[in-house]
Structure 1
Amino acid sequence: MSTPPKPGKRMSVRVDTALSDDLAALMRTGMTASDAVRLAVGFLAHGYRDLWTQGVYPEGVTPSRMRLTSPPYDSRPTRTD
């Protein structure tokens, strides 16, 4: 296992077709590529830590599958009374 870059350091990742397509999907929301990478890594890390903390998987073991659940989009305006 290698160590993560220290805060403030830059990181380099080779972009293949799959990563480019995935970034394009996330960037359609208006975020930058850097924002998308931070969000994706943070989201996945949160999922791993949660599974480890709950004892669903032993610490350091990669889950075989994970899923995302999301409420349906509600475009109704929120009340401001």
Structure 2
Amino acid sequence: MSAPEPGRRMTVRVDEQMPADLAVILKAGGTTSDAVRLAVAFLAHGYRDIWARGRYPDGVAPAYMRMVTPPYKGPEQRV
């Protein structure tokens, strides 16, 4: 399977969890397309990193990945 060419439209089947997941992402701003592009870029970066470091063979996806988030350093927010 090959990736679509830039500028082409892509369709994604929406499963039962996706609307709730997108709602969480969209709270930070942006569009549904922005969220999908960010998610694809985030996952691709993770795959490239583990393959480049030799942690997994090239082309093998890990069962799960984790993210390390730096502390928030902006103005205090009320919850």
Q: TM-score of the superposition, structure 1-length normalised? A: 0.86
Q: Provide the C-alpha distance between the structure 1 equivalents of 2:34 and 2:43, rounded to a whole number of angstroms.
A: 14
Shift of residue 61, structure 1, vs aligned partner: 0.1
Shift of residue 20, structure 1, vs aligned partner: 1.0
Q: Which residue of 1 aligns with 2:53?
A: 54
The percentage of aligned residue pairs carrying the same residue is 55
- 2:11 is aligned with what amino acid? S
- 1:12 is aligned with what amino acid? T
Q: For residue 68 of structure 1, give the secondary structure of its aligned residue in structure 2.
A: coil
- 2:26 is aligned with what amino acid? M
- Structure 2 runs not aligned, ≥5 long: none
- Where does 1:1-81 land on structure 2 (aligned, <5 Å)? 2-76=1-75
Q: Provide the C-alpha distance between the structure 2 equivalents of 1:58 and 1:69, rounded to a whole number of angstroms.
A: 23
Structure 1 residue ranges, 4+ long, deviating more than 2 angstroms after superposition: none
What CA RMSD, in Å, does the superposition of the two structures yield over aligned residues? Answer: 1.4
Shift of residue 76, structure 1, vs aligned partner: 4.1
Q: TM-score of the superposition, structure 2-length normalised? A: 0.88
